[in-house]
Each structure stands twice: as C-alpha cells, then as structure tokens.
Amino acid sequence: MAQGPNYKVKFRRRREGKTNYYKRYTYVKSKTDRLVVRITNNYVIVSLMRFNPKGDETLAMAHSIELSKKFGWKGDLNNTPASYLTGFLLGIRAKKLNVQKITADIGLFTPSIGARVFYVIKGAIDAGLEIPMGDVEIDKDRIYGKHIAEYAEKLEQENPEKFNKQFSKYLARGLNPKDLPSHVEEVLNKIKASGE
C-alpha cells in the first residue's frame, strides 16, 4: 500500500472500477436526465435516470427479457437487434413521461465502432428522444439482424451440423435465424402498437 503525505486513497467505487466520478460530475452539471445503458453477458438493461442529491431516481426502465415475455421475441436477449428494440421500448416509455432531451451514460464502457450500446441509443432516438450521439455510424441492416441471417444461411449450406449446433437456441424457440429480419420488424410493430 502506498504511503506518504501526497498519497490520497481514491473513492471505493472508483477503486472497484464501478464509477468514473469525473464523468458523473459532468452529467450532474449538465442538469439533464441520463439514458443509462448496461449490457451484461445475457441481457440489455436500459434506465432513464434523474439526478437527486439523496440518490438517483429511476424514471423508466426497459429490460431485454421483456421482449420475450411481452412481445414474443425469440432471438437472443443481448444481440444487436435486441439492443435496438430495448432502447426503442425505453424511448416510448420516456416519451409518455414527457421527457425529450437526455444524455447517454455508457458507464466505463470504451466506445468502439459497431458497439451494441450505440444501437440502444439509436433505438431511443428512433422512438422520439433527442440524444446527442456524435457521428457514430449505425448500420440499418444490423438493426434488423441481416448479418445474422446471412451468416446462418451460409453456415447451413456449408455445414448443417454446425448450423444446428450454433443456432440450437433459436431453433428451440421456434425461430429460423434466416427469418430474423422479418421477426425484428414484427416485434418492433408490436412494441409500437402496445403504446408502452
């Protein structure tokens, strides 16, 4: 352990790698609500947060598991299309609360080209929210899972055994991965019609 008159122990959450206090300070100064995006190994979790000195308030939340439970989603719960749909769902809920402008909070995640976190933000923007995102390019084909469908089609022709193994969960849920783009469109329409 370092010692000496100039050594200062960092806050516990900073030492644990959970909070970047400088980023948080800038969010608080901006006085805007935050779109907090967290992607785990299994799910996409999106929250609309408002700063409060006593503790942040959660105004609205969307979890990718809702896609399967409420809207009949049969794909994976943490891939690019699920990220977009979860962001869209939160955007609709935020609009019902009359929230217009928010700031994206991606936490300690390092942004990279094609990252799912940007597809969550794009979903919220398409639902009608104003979120500054810079000049990040979003591939519309990836939103609808065309890259997954094309890979599945290629794999089925080249190695059917590997196709059945790799997409076993899709097939068990009753979805052929080649039909993913139309399935995304179907679930997106259900979300729009539900008026969540």
Q: pLDDT tens, 78-99? A: 999 999 999 999 999 999 999 9
Spell out the per-residue pLDDT of the chain, length 196, in tens.
566 778 888 889 888 888 887 887 887 888 889 999 999 999 999 999 998 889 889 999 999 999 999 999 999 999 999 999 999 999 999 999 999 899 998 887 788 888 999 999 999 999 999 999 888 889 999 999 999 999 999 999 999 999 999 999 999 999 999 999 999 999 999 999 987 7
Asked whether 87 and 123 are in contact (CB, 8 A), the reply is yes
Q: pLDDT tens, 100-120? A: 899 998 887 788 888 999 999
Query: According to the model, what pLDDT value does residue 72 have?
Result: 95
Domain ranges for the chain, please list them.
30-194
Architecture of the domain defined by 30-194: 2-Layer Sandwich (3.30)
